Structure 1
């Protein structure tokens, strides 16, 4: 299927990304990452070393025949497959993603499965798709008996996290996050726009307006990048907020060193995002100040480490 808004393309793409620290004490190497992500035998794991180490699994398809989410209560049935994939960033962070696209309309009657299987990652409506209602309903969360692709991503995370080569002893206690997103073509040639919201339960929602012909895979890649950097910022900020003045130096130093060893070098926005979608991150960054906040947090960690080195040196000289 072609990109968003094209004659033969979808009018809507939706997905969910789950991000967590890989449950192991040290970052896994390239060979181990490949082993963790070998979810199919007929397609290889894709590996990249520049500008950072990145491994992504082949896609898995899950067949669905269900009612689509809706905020208006309009009943809209769709049939097809949801694409899921997992990625490991720098051997340290695990992301699982599930997404699909949908055209404006489909046959008035349900077809045989062969009709849907030749369109991987696409949910074809039976009749016309109420695009706005479905998009808003997806972001709000599914109601009973409506499509929910979150468990597809969750099951992929669980499958990889239980792999026997992981020691289940991560160096930091961190919270998982999930990012639910929708993408529609920008109307009338307008520029890319992004509406990003956060909830206290770790859920983020992103509503995107993207250039015509943007592929669902490119939209998913952008949202995976947003999810990764939101998780990094959230995790580091939480760890620093928890460092109270009464902490023992050894405990505080352990947290600071773990952040440096495992997370600080992962901040690299847009390194694998389609160039036509860079403005989405730039808009988000301008409005939220993500990069400014990250730079301030990273500098705070460095300052804390320098301060403790100076203090230790001073105490050593005093004892002499």
Structure 2
């Protein structure tokens, strides 16, 4: 069995973080379905799952023809009242025959896409991850993006962002393998696109989406903090003040960094490996130190200017 997914992460279009009751109201996409909210270890809310029917081609690394028919599930998440994610995924399962069934057959298996093809799980996973701009093949990113767009357009938001941040994309595939423990292979595709191949035990397939959502959140935090530092350096070169940008980043982002805190313990070795290489927390701590140094230097400069101004009197 194979699971495919894509997570899109961005800043919620609101000046300040939202309180939990308002987050729950915004994520309440389905009447009668409860939004899951938690306050520890950090404020986090998850919408009910939506279901989208698909019937499309599937990319394969061997170029063997493949067709997928079934349903995709998607959900939206808001962390710390400020970071918005849209996540879509589907289990791929080989169809029992070469013909399409009635839709009632697929509706009975929510989140499952039946595959009509000779391609195996590895070929489908590699094909999906390599298909960065799908046109006629399965496009889970568009499902995630549509959910994000609906939430960003909510009337309760003031549509003003507090930090300049670009959305990031994480495309992932999880399949069963014979490795000793779970394995994550991560590659970057430009500044904001990541591809992850997970190899796990069959019992861990259902945990893969949550790991990838957590990875996507922390990858976005790293990317955004790097953009804050870049913006600060650019404005300083122009002689402009940057203290407001820096303090906003401290207030809004620093406390969100908790890699692995919301991942099932069975997949915690994946985060342990990422902490070794490329060293996510080392990168984060370096960027945090640079921002604090910027703030300290600008504070000292402001104090010195005030002292000199007082001395002139």
Residues 105 and 128, structure 1, Cα contact 8 Å, conserved in 2: no
Match of 1:170 among 161, 182, 195: 161
Matches within 5 A, 1:63-78: 63-78=53-68
User: Which moved further from structure 2: 162-171 or 200-209?
Assistant: 200-209
1:230 aligns with 2:219: yes
1:220 aligns with 2:209: yes
In the alignment, what sits opposite 1:257? Answer: 247
| 1:38-66, Cα deviation, whole Å (9 max, x unpaired) | 11012111000000000100000001122
| 1:71-127, Cα deviation, whole Å (9 max, x unpaired) | 222112222110100000000100000000112443333222222212111111236
Task: Could you list the structure 1 runs, at least 4 aligned residues long, displaced by more than 6 angstroms after superposition.
Answer: none
Residues 84 and 99, structure 1, Cα contact 8 Å, conserved in 2: yes
In the alignment, what sits opposite 2:74? Answer: 84
In the alignment, what sits opposite 2:125? Answer: 135
1:191 is displaced (CA, Å) by 1.9
In the alignment, what sits opposite 1:45? Answer: 35
| 1:200-250, Cα deviation, whole Å (9 max, x unpaired) | 25211001111231133x211100000110010011012112322425463
Matches within 5 A, 1:6-45: 11-45=1-35
1:185 aligns with 2:176: yes
1:289 is displaced (CA, Å) by 1.4
Structure 2 residue runs without a partner (length 5+) = none
In the alignment, what sits opposite 2:90? Answer: 100
Residues 139 and 205, structure 1, Cα contact 8 Å, conserved in 2: yes
- What count of residue pairs does the alignment treat as equivalent? 307
Residues 103 and 129, structure 1, Cα contact 8 Å, conserved in 2: no
| Root mean square deviation, CA, Å | 1.7
Residues 9 and 169, structure 2, Cα contact 8 Å, conserved in 1: yes
Structure 1 residue runs without a partner (length 5+) = 1-10
In the alignment, what sits opposite 2:147? Answer: 156
Matches within 5 A, 1:188-207: 189-200=179-190, 202-207=192-197
Aligned to 1:194, the other structure's residue is in SS state strand
Aligned equivalents of 2:212, 2:98: Cα separation in 1: 32
Aligned equivalents of 1:29, 1:161: Cα separation in 2: 16
Residues 192 and 208, structure 1, Cα contact 8 Å, conserved in 2: yes
Residues 175 and 205, structure 2, Cα contact 8 Å, conserved in 1: no
Aligned to 1:214, the other structure's residue is in SS state helix
Aligned to 1:174, the other structure's residue is in SS state coil
Aligned equivalents of 1:239, 1:312: Cα separation in 2: 21
1:144 is displaced (CA, Å) by 4.1
Aligned to 2:203, the other structure's residue is in SS state coil
1:305 is displaced (CA, Å) by 1.7
